[in-house]
Structure 1
Amino acid sequence: MELKEHLKEHRQRLGLSQEDLAERIFVTRQTISNWETDKTYPDVQSLLLLSDLFGVSIDELVKGDVAAMESEIKKEWRRMSRLIAAAWGLIALGVLCAVAGFVSHTGPSSVLPGWSEGEVLGCVAFLFLWLIGLGLAHQVERMKKASDLVTYKDILAFSKGEEPIRDDDALGRRQPLASNALKFIAAALVGLAVAFVVTRFL
C-alpha cells in the first residue's frame, strides 16, 4: 500500500508530528502510527479529513492502492467463502449424523436414560461438527478484521463515486461475532428439530 508513504510525506511537509496529526483528525497517535506502518487503513471519514488537511484529493492519497485493495478483497473473499461453505457443510453433516442416530435401532444408552446409544452418538457427532463450524465462522471474522475488508470496500465504493456502505444498524456489521453465533445456534436448533421430527415419522 502506498498510502503510508503519502501520509508521512504530507505530515512532514506540514511539520506535524504523529500526535499533532492525530489531534487534527480526531484519532489517536497509535492510529496514525498504524496507518504509517501499514498495519491498518483509514476509513472514508478519516481519508476525507486527511485530504482536507493536506490540501489534496482522496484520489491522490490512495493513488496506487485501489488496485491492491480490489485484489485483496477478491483473494480474502475467496478464502472466506471456502471457510463459510465448510462451516455450513459441517453443520449439514452434523444434522445427518443426528438424524441417523435417532433413526438407528440400537440398545439403550448407559449415559442418558431414555435415549438409545445411536441417539447419544448422533447428538455428540452433531455437537462436535457444529462447534468446528462455529470455529471456522470465527476465523472468517478474524480475517475480515485483520484485512480491514469493510474499510477497503467503503474506500473502493467511494473511489467509484458510489455511496459507502453505512448499514450501522445491522447486527452483522456492529457485532459480527454475535451475529454469526446467533446464526449457528439457530442452525443447531433447526438441525435438532429436524432430527426429532424425522424420527417421529419414520
Structure 2
Amino acid sequence: MELPQQLKANRERLGLTQEDVAQRIFVSRQTMSSWETGKTYPDVQSLLLLSNLFGVSIDSFVKGDVETMKETIVKDAVRMERLSIGMVGLLLAGVACLVGWDLIWDEPVAAVPWLTWGMVVGMALFALCAALAMVCACRVEKLKKDHDLVTFREISAFMDGEDPEAIAHLNPDAFSRKHPWVANAVKVLAGAAVALALGFIIGSIVSSLH
C-alpha cells in the first residue's frame, strides 16, 4: 500500500478526521489533504509524528514508495538538466540572431536611419528565444514545486539510515520556498539581464569592426 493510502487507512482506523491529524502533527488540513491525495509528501519530521500518532513504523509507511521516489528524483533531475540546457541554448541563439541578422541585412530602416532591418529581425528573434527560455525556467520551477523534490530527497536519505537532524539541511526554510513568485521573478530578470548584457557586448564588438 502506498503512502497516501496508508495515511488515509490509518487515520480512519483511529476514527480521526484530516483536521484532527493535522492539529496533532502541527500542519494545516490542506497539507494533510494533499498528502492523502498524493500531491505532495510529508517531510521526515512529519513522518516521525505520523508514525508516533498511528503507532506504526516509518518503514511500513514508505517502504513501497522509496524506490518510486528515487526514480522520480532521477527522472526529474534529467528533465531539469535538459530544460536548463535548453534555456541557456535559447538565450545564446537569441544573442546570435541579434548580432547575425544585423550583419546579414544591414539595410537601414527609412524612418529610423540608425536602425537596420537586420536589427529589427534580430531583436524580434531574440525576444522569441527569450520568451521560450522563460518557459523553460518556469517548467523547472513547476517540476520542483509539483514533485517537492526536497522532501523526496529527505525521505530517501532517511530510509538510507541517515539521522533526521543530519539531513535537516535538505529542507531549509529558504527564501525561495517561502516566496516562490519573487524568487522566480528574480531568476528571470537576472537571466534576461545577462543575455542583454552579452548581446550588447557582442553587438558593440561587431559594430566596431564595421
Residue number in structure 2 paired with 1:135: 135
Q: Shift in Å at residue 169 of structure 1?
A: 3.9
Q: What TM-score, normalized to structure 2?
A: 0.83
Aligned pairs (5 A) from 1:113-124: 113-124=113-124
Query: Which residue number in structure 2 is paired with residue 168 of structure 1?
Result: 173
> For each residue in 1:38-97, what CA deviation from the matched residue of structure 2 results, as whole angstroms up to 9, or x when unmatched?
222112232222123223333332111110100111112222222221121111111111
Count of aligned pairs: 202
Residue by residue over 1:79-132, the C-alpha shift from the partner in whole angstroms, topping out at 9 and shown as x without a partner, is 222222112111111111112134346121246452111122212211111111
Q: Is the 8 A contact 2:150 2:171 kept in 1?
A: no
- Does structure 1 retain, via aligned residues, the 8 Å contact 2:151–2:171? no
More deviation, 96-105/82-91: 96-105
- Residue correspondence of structure 1 range 58-73 to structure 2 within 5 A: 58-73=58-73
Which stretches in structure 2 are left out of the alignment for 5+ residues?
none
Higher alpha-carbon deviation: 180-189 or 73-82: 180-189
CA RMSD of aligned residues (A): 2.4
Q: 2:192 aligns with which of 181, 185, 191?
A: 185
Q: Which amino acid aligns with 1:8?
A: K
Tell me, yes or no, if the aligned pair for 1:101 and 1:123 is still in contact at 8 Å.
no
| TM-score (structure 1 length as normaliser) | 0.86
Partner of 2:91: 91
2:32 corresponds to which letter in structure 1?
I
Q: Which is further off, 37-46 or 131-140?
A: 37-46
SS of the aligned residue for 1:115 comes to: strand
- d(CA) in 1 for partners of 2:105, 2:178: 46
Counterpart AA for 1:184: G
Amino acid at match of 1:156: S
- Provide the rounded CA distance (Å) in 1 between the counterparts of 2:177 and 2:39: 24
CA 152–179 in structure 1, closer or farther in 2 if over 3 Å, else same = farther
Unpaired stretches in structure 1, ≥5 consecutive residues: none
Aligned to 2:156: 156
Q: How does 1:17-36 map onto structure 2 within 5 Å?
A: 17-36=17-36
Deviating beyond 6 angstroms after TM superposition, the runs of 4 or more aligned structure 1 residues are: none
AA aligned opposite 2:95: V
Q: Residues 112 and 87 of structure 1: is their aligned pair in 2 closer, same or farther, counting only changes over 3 Å?
A: farther
Distance in 2, Cα, partners of 1:18 & 1:40 = 15
Contact 2:93 2:129 (8 Å CA) reproduced: yes
